[in-house]
Amino acid sequence: MRKTVIIGMALLIGVAAWAGGSSEPKKVTVPDNIQWVTADRIGNPNASISISFAVDNTYSHLTQTASRKEYLTKRMEEWAKMNPDVKLIPQILAANNNERLAKQLEQAATGSQVDAAMIDGQFVPLFYRWLQPIDKYFTKEEMDDWFEWCKKEAMIDPADGKMKAAWFITNTVGLWYNKEAVPKPPKSWDDVITVGKDLKSKGWQYGMLAWGGKNEQISYGSVMPMFFGLGGNLVDKDGKPIYGDAANKAKLAEVFAFWDRAVKEGIVPQRVLDINNNGDLAAEAVKDKSVAMFLGGSWLYSILKDNLKDKFANWEFAGTPQKSGEMRMQVPGGYCMAFFSKDQKKLELAVSFMKYVFLGKDGMAGWCQAAGYTPVRNSVLKDFPFFSQDKFQSAFGQVIAAGARLRPNTSTYPIISEHIQEGWQNVILQKQTPADAVDNAFKKTLNQIK
């Protein structure tokens, strides 16, 4: 048996219908015992409006992380019940960052993109020409609520001043440490060596760990914060790679030399290259006497909390160690929701859905709390106790505020990053000296972009 509901009526399945919809009632059939959220659909299967969107698997309701899955499923179902004439078709983005960016750019250029998509904030400017303005769906108060660097770097297209995307989370890689074993986190590279040796002398298996499997997290967490902290530049103002030029080469080689020293002095093991995902880091943190400090993303919050349980209270988060303990530098990351649909009805509904789940004040607070990310709206950090009173969220915000610099948004960045990752791994494996690793990486970059 099926039932017919009227969109726009306040009694619609117990809640008000989407406020931005047509004033004329529309009839839509909703099956009995409907499952509102399934693996391949969100909403009424009989809905006349279909909207496609693409997100990373860990940002989808298919994620295996319990806190994320619970939040997303609940929030998506609530929105779907308020909008029974709409169904959303989710797509999962490629896990490999380089592959993802290339495919998204290709789809945008050929007009085969989804209606809405999650895009790395660093690269949003590459999509401006294809994105639809969404200014009218946000009040001035809402716009003023976002961090200025979010609006400048990815939300506002400088060519026309229009809002083309909405940043909804940020994160950074910093030093997670067990305060019972490391009462005071190391701030300098020398401190890392000293603390690491002390841990080893006390029976800890590793002095320090980091993500070492080939992935952007090597560049993002283990190289760029230190390189930028030394004043290094990857590209010039035109996007041309310059990290192999004399001054920048010296700075990058200096970063590689720190890691070379950490391996030679037994602080960082070569098996760090086997750490390929967040779960690998969490697994080491759970083991008794395995690791008491590691470089990891702030997004590890929910994963560590789920795995460490009561022991999570022993952990803290600090900024990335720099050559000088006085220098503070982080690389903030995060994602934006961007909208491609030229159908104004779909565009409005897509923005409404994303605001409810990710972008609005309540949506951003709920998602960032469930997933362990840092919000990018001032009111969320201020008005929700989880962020204003939680020691980790406070630390995440503080380390980003102390000094931050984004990776360049040039389309050649994935190529640059890939070769720097290879160079870093070769240094860890003692296959190349720091200087040779930089030279070889730079040569590969120049050859590939010819």
DSSP state of 118: E
The Cα 201–Cα 232 span in angstroms is 35
| Polymer length of the chain | 450
Phi, psi of 312 (to 5 degrees): -60, -30
Question: Residue ranges per domain, the chain?
Answer: 2-170+333-391, 172-332+402-448
- Amino acid 222 reads S
C-beta separation of 330 from 319 below 8 A: yes
Which residues are CB-neighbours of 276 under 8 A, at least 6 positions away?
211, 213, 215
The CA-based angle 272-277-278, given to 5 degrees, is: 105
**What architecture (CATH level 2) is domain 172-332+402-448?**
3-Layer(aba) Sandwich (3.40)
Q: Which CATH architecture has domain 2-170+333-391?
A: 3-Layer(aba) Sandwich (3.40)
Amino acid identity of 440?
Answer: N
**Digits of tens for pLDDT over the chain (450 positions)?**
444 443 333 333 333 334 344 445 467 899 999 999 999 999 999 999 999 999 999 999 999 989 999 999 999 999 999 999 999 999 999 998 889 999 999 999 999 999 999 999 989 999 999 999 999 999 999 999 998 888 988 999 999 999 999 999 998 999 999 999 999 999 999 999 999 999 999 999 999 999 999 888 999 999 999 999 999 999 998 889 999 999 999 999 999 999 999 999 999 999 999 999 888 999 999 999 999 999 999 989 888 998 999 999 999 999 999 999 889 999 988 999 999 999 999 999 999 999 999 999 999 999 999 988 889 998 998 899 999 898 998 899 888 877 888 899 888 898 999 999 999 999 999 999 999 999 999 999 999 998
Comparing CA positions, the residue from 36, 31, 136 lying closest to residue 352 is: 136
Helix, strand, coil % over all residues of the chain, rounded to 5: 50, 15, 35
